[in-house]
Amino acid sequence: MAVRVVFLGPLADLVGADEMELPAPLDWPALLAGIPPAVAEQLTNARVHVACAGRVVADKAALRAVDGDEVALLPPVSGG
């Protein structure tokens, strides 16, 4: 019973891996506690977004990922 957490762009470098698994169901506090602290700190930035099951989550704190969901952590995209 797991949620796949995917690290995009520079976040993958911070973790040293592209993804990890966390137990389902997964809410916002469980996500922050389960990922490396350096990434958890990045997630508090309003410009770092979270997608769940293929959709960007409007309110990160309301995250509710269930078994089989993929949660993607999306840092700000690159400029020109």
Partner 1 sequence: MRDIRLLTQMFIPGQLIGPFAQANPGLGAVCTFVGEVRGEAYVEALELTHYEPLTLAGMHDLADRALGRFNLMGLLMVHRIGVLVAGEPIVCVSAAAAHRRDAIDAVDFCMDHLKSAAWFWKRERRSDGWHWIEPRAQDHTDLKRWD
What is the rounded distance in angstroms from the CA atom of residue 71 to the CA atom of residue 55? Answer: 9
What is the rounded distance in angstroms from the CA atom of residue 24 to the CA atom of residue 58? Answer: 20
Contact 39, 72 (CB under 8 A): no
Question: Can you tell me which of 2, 4, 8, 28 binds partner 1, judged by CB under 8 A?
Answer: 8
Is there binding between residue 70 and partner 1 (CB under 8 A)? yes
Is there binding between residue 43 and partner 1 (CB under 8 A)? no
Binding segment toward partner 1, per CB under 8 A, in 4-12, 19-27, 28-36, 60-68: 4-12
Is there binding between residue 54 and partner 1 (CB under 8 A)? yes
Is there binding between residue 44 and partner 1 (CB under 8 A)? no
In this structure, what token pair is assigned to residue 12?
A: 């993958």
